């Protein structure tokens, strides 16, 4: 039978935060193939291998197709949805009755649609009386969100992807867009301004190799380096006094704070010469349109928030914000991390309001048509707080949605022990055999990308539309409809009577967004988002009536007004702190973890299901070590090695390469065992785990 398409439609990709538009080729309303969308303003006809393979991973035999419960012999048995939802309700309510409402928590994700996050957050917190829930966005964006909120007054990445093409100097800090965000990197390569491209990274990454300048700093010396750059910008009067005076707060304190961070003083800490530091500062100072970009190298750090703010400070004091080609720009990780930040109802109340503010609670209650008394007056515990709660026995029931903590959470063996301590663990996922699902008491089979509709928000604040172009396998249901069914089994159906389908929830979100910086009251609906190639927030009713078109690129702060009440951005500084587990005689190597390839995603839950993507990446775990270290340890490229930390050990293949300096090693996060080694420590402000620094010992196996 011919598989020739008879129609096409578009949808955004559901892996990374780039948010590429994909054209789905349909036959009888089912997608039979896809190509990158040529007219979508994000990707302009390009896609990375994960996007190209997005349909393939839906067909895997590992899909969860029916609800499963763990039986007394420890095996899983198929049950009906009715049985599964009754069990969920009886067990979770039973735990709450016995140990209090806060004894049940949820862990969600940046991988589902905004409307699903909104439903989950509202159902759990307002319907089920669950106070504590967090998302895997804690592992990726919490730091950037915290930094923006303190500095700008709202979690507001200011940029648009056009800035990659408009800059004449781009600084990438702890970011490897060449493989992490390859389509954004393509935009960098299109830049016609002969830009200076400076990469600050302890590894010689693919992006560093393509840069005009690579500052290969000692791991976790980024905060000191950024203060030294700031010091020199001030010393050589490369700052924008007018902008500082009119639009910022805290410049005197900043000057005083960085006065000790001279390039000469900081050179030995960072391993970068004072001349190179001065040259970098002067390049930033001289260029007209400087943009600074960061991702996980900064966010996943024990002093990440202050490091992100040191980047923001540089943009502010040089007036590099609000104009084309500028900005202090956090590139998000997951496809809908931004959606989680606005709509998950975890750290912030629905629509980025404040749980502690009674006026905000009233407003949200009114938008949702619920009693304000249903809304908790405190935000949730963060992810690590929930894990601590399990350890203490305060949390006994956990509901995990589209995330895989048994693989991805820092200090893995402890995370797995904690999951086993729970009285009841529910895992809601597309696949029945994730590392976390192996610990579950109940598995709820979920539809995946391509099998459901809704919206997601990319790194440049652009809402894009997901479409249902495939039937989910077996009895798997869209997360949205699982939440809807649970609302009914829990007995709170009435509270959600308006939440009948994703677009109805989008309208509720619009109401709740009114007068927030992320106001989207002017959007007509999914059809308009689709037609315009996505719409960036804010898009207010006033915008809809004005001259600016939704298709136009929009960057924030063009008028120099920030979201604090006085309109001024804050310049935030802090002490540089020592690495919690520095290498020593027993564990002499510093291990960094991170993204290893363009073809795999996170814990490989989906991407490992594509033979093409598997071929593009070694299936066996490997660790990068420097040739000098390898020679000293008599390790050859390809040898089996053992890496051991104070928490665990693993076997891997040695990749002997100068990408890491002597004394350092790098292991991709995609392998199951990687987090056996990592140390459970966190940024104190964002509570984001610090994945990039732990001490290990490496030897031949
Ligand atoms: Fe684009 Fe990211 Fe999807 Fe790749 S994974 S196609 S870069 S959105």
User: What's the pLDDT tens digit per position in 150-199?
Assistant: 999 999 999 999 999 999 999 999 999 999 999 999 999 999 999 999 99
For residue 1, pLDDT over 80 is answered with no
Please tell me the distance between residue 184's alpha carbon and the centre of ligand 1 in angstroms: 9
Distance 334 CA to ligand 1 centre (A): 10
> Longest Cα pair distance anywhere in the chain, in angstroms?
74
Residue 346 to residue 295: CA distance in whole angstroms: 22
Structure confidence at residue 333 (pLDDT): 87
Q: Tell me what the mean pLDDT of segment 552-557 comes to.
A: 95
Q: Which residue among 10, 50, 161 has the greatest number of ligand 1 atoms within 8 angstroms of its CB, and so is best to mutate? A: 50
pLDDT tens digits along 115-141:
999 999 999 999 999 999 999 999 999
Please report, for the chain, the start and end positions of each structural domain, with discontinuous segments joined by +. Answer: 7-59, 68-140+336-545, 142-330, 589-700
The CATH-assigned architecture of domain 68-140+336-545 is: 3-Layer(aba) Sandwich (3.40)
pLDDT band with cut points at 50, 70 and 90 for residue 3: confident
Mutate-to-test residue for ligand 1 from 34, 46, 48, 612, highest number of ligand atoms within 8 A of CB: 48
My answer on whether omega of the bond before 185 falls inside 30° of 0, hence cis, is no
Local confidence band at 2 (pLDDT 50, 70, 90 cut-offs): low
Locate tokens 């589209």: which residue? 402
Domain at 7-59, CATH class: alpha beta
For the domain spanning 142-330, the CATH number is 3.40.228.10
Closest residue to atom 4 of ligand 1, CA basis? 48
Domain 589-700 has CATH 2.130.10.30: no
With a Cβ cut-off of 6 Å, ligand 1 is lined by 13, 15-16, 18-20, 43, 47-48, 50-51, 182-183
The predicted-structure confidence for 286-297, as pLDDT tens digits, reads as follows 999 999 999 999
CA 529 to chain centre: 23
Residue 640 Cα to ligand 1 middle (Å): 33
Q: Are 236 and 282 in contact (CB under 8 A)?
A: yes
**Which of the four pLDDT bands, split at 50, 70 and 90, describes residue 661?**
very high
């Amino acid at each position: 039978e011919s598989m020739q398409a008879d129609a096409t439609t578009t949808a955004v990709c559901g892996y990374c935060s780039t948010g590429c538009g994909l054209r789905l080729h349909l036959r009888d309303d089912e997608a039979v193939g896809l190509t990158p969308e040529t007219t979508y303003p994000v990707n302009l006809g390009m896609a990375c291998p994960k996007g190209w393979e997005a349909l393939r991973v839906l067909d895997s035999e590992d899909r969860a197709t029916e609800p499963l419960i763990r039986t007394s012999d420890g095996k899983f048995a198929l049950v009906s949805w009715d049985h599964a939802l009754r069990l969920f309700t009886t067990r979770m309510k039973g735990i709450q009755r016995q140990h209090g409402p806060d004894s049940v928590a949820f862990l969600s994700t940046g991988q589902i649609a905004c409307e699903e996050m909104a439903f989950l957050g509202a159902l759990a917190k307002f319907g089920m009386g669950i106070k504590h829930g967090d998302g895997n966005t804690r592992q990726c964006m919490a730091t950037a969100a915290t930094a923006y909120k303190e500095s700008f007054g709202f979690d507001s990445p200011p940029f648009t992807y056009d800035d990659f093409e408009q800059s004449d100097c781009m600084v990438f800090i702890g970011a490897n867009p060449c493989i992490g965000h390859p389509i954004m990197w393509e935009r960098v390569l299109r830049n016609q301004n002969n830009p200076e491209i400076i990469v600050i990274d302890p590894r010689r990454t693919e992006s560093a190799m393509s840069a005009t300048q690579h500052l290969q700093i000692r791991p976790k010396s980024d905060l000191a380096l950024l203060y030294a750059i700031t010091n020199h910008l001030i010393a050589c009067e490369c700052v924008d006094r007018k902008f500082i005076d009119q639009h910022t707060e805290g410049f005197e304190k900043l000057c005083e704070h960085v006065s000790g961070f001279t390039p000469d003083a900081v050179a030995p800490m960072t391993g970068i010469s004072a001349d190179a530091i001065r040259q970098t500062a002067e390049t930033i100072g001289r260029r007209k349109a400087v943009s600074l970009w960061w991702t996980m190298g900064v966010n996943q750090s024990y002093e990440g928030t202050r490091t992100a703010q040191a980047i923001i400070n540089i943009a502010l004091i040089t007036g590099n914000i609000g104009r084309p080609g500028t900005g202090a720009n956090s590139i998000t990780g997951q496809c809908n991390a931004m959606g989680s930040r606005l709509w998950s109802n975890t750290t912030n109340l629905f629509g980025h309001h404040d749980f502690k503010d009674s006026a905000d609670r009233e407003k949200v209650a009114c938008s949702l048509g619920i009693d304000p008394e249903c809304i908790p007056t405190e935000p949730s515990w963060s992810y690590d707080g929930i894990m601590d709660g399990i350890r203490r026995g305060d949390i006994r029931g956990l509901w995990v949605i589209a995330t895989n903590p048994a693989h991805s959470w820092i200090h893995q063996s402890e995370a797995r022990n904690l999951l086993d301590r729970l009285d009841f663990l529910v895992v809601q996922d597309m696949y029945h055999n994730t590392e976390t699902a192996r610990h579950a008491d109940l598995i709820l089979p979920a539809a995946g990308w391509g099998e459901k509709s809704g919206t997601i928000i990319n790194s440049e604040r652009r809402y894009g539309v997901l479409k249902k172009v495939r039937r989910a396998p077996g009895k798997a249901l869209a997360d949205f409809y699982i939440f809807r069914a649970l609302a009914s089994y829990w007995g709170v159906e009435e509270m959600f009577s308006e939440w009948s389908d994703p677009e109805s929830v989008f309208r509720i979100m619009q109401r709740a967004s009114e007068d927030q910086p992320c106001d989207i009251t002017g959007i007509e609906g999914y059809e308009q988002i689709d037609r315009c190639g996505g719409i960036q927030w804010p898009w207010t009713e006033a915008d809809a009536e004005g001259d600016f078109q939704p298709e136009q690129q929009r960057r924030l702060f063009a008028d120099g007004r920030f979201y604090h009440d006085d309109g001024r951005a804050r310049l935030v500084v802090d002490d540089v702190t020592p690495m919690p587990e520095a290498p020593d005689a027993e564990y002499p190597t510093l291990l960094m973890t991170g993204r290893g390839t363009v073809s795999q995603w996170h814990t490989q839950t989906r991407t490992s299901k594509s033979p093409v993507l598997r071929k593009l990446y070694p299936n066996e775990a490997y660790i990068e070590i420097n040739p000098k270290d390898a020679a000293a340890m008599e390790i050859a490229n390809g040898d089996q090695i053992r890496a051991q930390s104070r928490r665990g050990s693993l076997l891997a293949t040695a990749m002997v390469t100068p990408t890491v300096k002597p004394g350092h090693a790098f292991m991709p996060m995609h392998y199951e065992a990687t987090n056996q080694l990592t140390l459970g420590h966190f940024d104190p402000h964002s509570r984001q785990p610090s994945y990039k620094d732990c001490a290990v010992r490496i030897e031949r196996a």
